[in-house]
Amino acid sequence: MTHRNSNRYNPKQRFYRKKSFFLLAGFLLGAGLIVATYQTSVYFSTDESCMMCHVHPHAEDSWKMSKHVNNGSGVKTHCVDCHLPPKHDTWAHYTAKAKLGIRDVWGYLTKDSADFDWEAKSQLEYAVTFIPNESCKECHQNLFPEGVTDKGITAHLYYEENEKKLNLQCISCHLDAGHYNPNYAHSQMTGIPGLAGASADSSTFFKEPALVTEFKDYIETIPGTPVTLSMKAIAGGSFKMGSPEKEPLRGEDESPVRNVTVSPFFMAEVEVTWDQYWAFYGNTMSEGRTPPETVYANNSNPDVDAISGPTPPFGFPDQGWGSGSRPAITMTHYAAETFCQWLSKKTGKKYRLPTEAEWEYAARGGTNTPYFFEGNPKDYSDIGFWRKFFDADTDIISEYVIYNKNSKNKTQEPSAVKANPFGLKNMLGNVMEYCADKYSPDAYKKGGASVKDPIVKEGTEWVVRGGNYTSDASKLRSAARDYTRHDAWLKTDPQQPKSIWWYSDIRGIGFRVVCEPDASLKAK
């Protein structure tokens, strides 16, 4: 009896039976969790799941109208195919998915979709941060499919050769592939925007330039065009150029402060507009790819009758933001200089780009503070520890400046801001403006503590001033300096030689003109 019941009460057997039970239960529970996690992951990778948080109707509507959905093949490209790294890169794919998911859920719970600025978020500067280039290449492994144009082949060959060296991204040239944008065109520009109606009626064209007999504001009328320029008379004077060491958020290239005297000059009230630039383009455009050496030789001839102007750009340089009185953008420094050359021949006056000293003198408008309006750069800037907790002040600066806080990621018309004390608009913000000087970080150390009408002619890059619509307030101070990045601003241009007229990788660059008074006006 004792022998028969010994196994029933064997402690070791009971232990193994319990262990087996827990192992089986644990296995089943683990498998269930894995399946549930996988199914949850699959669900949260569907387009419907993405749309739960991205409730702004433009996101879904523009996606359905894009080539990724509305195409001849009938193949749909899903949200996660573009916005997450490829699935074969498991760690990158799921960590990115977790980060975006948490961000989207937080936004859904705490933000009002009516406040979303879809137009601003659809601009390239924002879009590139949410499109991994590897995802584009995952789907488009053949960059030379049947039917690709010769220009497409050239562009894609350039991409293959320079992708890693120049950090090229597919979306830079194919912004509307995933979300349709009616104002975006991936093609060569044809015709002359904005002048079709005017060109049909030459009676609207001016016959004579403005006659300037006094040193005061005037409206320039450009013969052979229907456009004008509003010019402000800027009296000469002396000022302290640069920023003192105590000025918040200053740059090292803004010192030492020096006394600068500038002669009287006229300056355009606003940056050169698209209406004005398209008039120049229509009068001077070069068909096809005119060799740069031919252009340089022609325009360098002082006796030339016809200026050689820009060739047609690829795409629309206004970025679909609108033309009219908005500032003309994306032209090179040489193109801006050629505009001045054309304007001088048209009017018989001497138009040119401002020197850096003239620009700062005009931007200050007689003030010696960081801005020509009231305020401390630290209060307006997003730089600093406390900006993680408190928003920057925008009340006063937004009245005078188009910058990263109010631009909606694009340029705005001059009417959006108030003028400075000299009557000039958008001297700060909107677009960076070319100067006639070459850039030197120690320019202010040269020539002594007091100089008159200085200009730097040696260097590689050109000075640009004023910041643009993407700039932080610290870069908008009257003394803030910057310079061109010629090669970087042309990195996605596949042409050989690269364009001498249009930049492919900078949008917030433009210019305004100055006019030198003739000798008789200076004497007065």
pLDDT reported for residue 8 = 56
Instruction: Round to whole Å and give the CA distance between 52 and 317.
Output: 35
pLDDT tens-digit profile of 113-172? 767 777 777 778 778 888 888 888 888 888 888 888 888 888 888 888 888 888 888 888
Burial code (b: 16+ CB inside 10 Å, e: under 16) for 275-310 equals: bbbbbbbbbbbbeeebeeeebeeebeeeeeeebbbb
pLDDT reported for residue 306 = 87
Cut 0.85: pTM above it: yes
pLDDT reported for residue 198 = 47
Instruction: Report the candidate in 441, 277, 424 with the shortest Cα–Cα distance to residue 359.
Output: 424
Instruction: Round to whole Å and give the CA distance between 5 and 1.
Output: 6
Q: What percent of the chain has pLDDT over 90?
A: 50
The answer to whether residues 371 and 476 touch, using CB atoms and an 8 Å cutoff, is: yes
Would you say residue 409 has pLDDT above 70? yes
pLDDT reported for residue 13 = 64
Region label for 50, one of left (φ > 0), alpha (ψ between -120 and 50) or beta (otherwise): alpha
The answer to whether residues 82 and 76 touch, using CB atoms and an 8 Å cutoff, is: no
State the chain's mean pLDDT as an integer.
88
pLDDT tens-digit profile of 197-224? 445 577 789 999 999 999 999 999 999 9
The pair of three-digit structure tokens given for residue 61, joined into one six-digit string: 């509507």
Do the strands 514-516 and 350-352 form a parallel or antiparallel pair, or are they unpaired? antiparallel
Q: 170: which residues sit within 8 A by CB, 6+ positions away?
A: 131, 133, 136, 137, 140, 159
The answer to whether residues 115 and 164 touch, using CB atoms and an 8 Å cutoff, is: no
Higher per-residue pLDDT: 90 or 461: 461
Higher per-residue pLDDT: 182 or 195: 182
Confidence of residue 18 (pLDDT cuts 50, 70, 90): low
pLDDT reported for residue 1 = 47
pLDDT reported for residue 197 = 46
Give the number of other Cβ atoms within 10 Å of residue 452's Cβ.
Answer: 13
Q: What element of type H or E holds 483?
A: strand 481-483
Would you say residue 321 has pLDDT above 80? yes
| Three-state SS at 234 | strand
What average pLDDT score do residues 80-100 get?
86
pLDDT reported for residue 109 = 79
pLDDT reported for residue 204 = 81
Burial of 410: CB neighbours in 10 Å, binned 0-12, 13-18, 19+: buried
pLDDT tens-digit profile of 433-467? 999 999 999 999 987 889 999 999 999 999 999 99
pLDDT tens-digit profile of 39-59? 777 777 787 877 777 766 677
What average pLDDT score do residues 256-275 get?
97
Would you say residue 193 has pLDDT above 90? no
What average pLDDT score do residues 348-375 get?
97
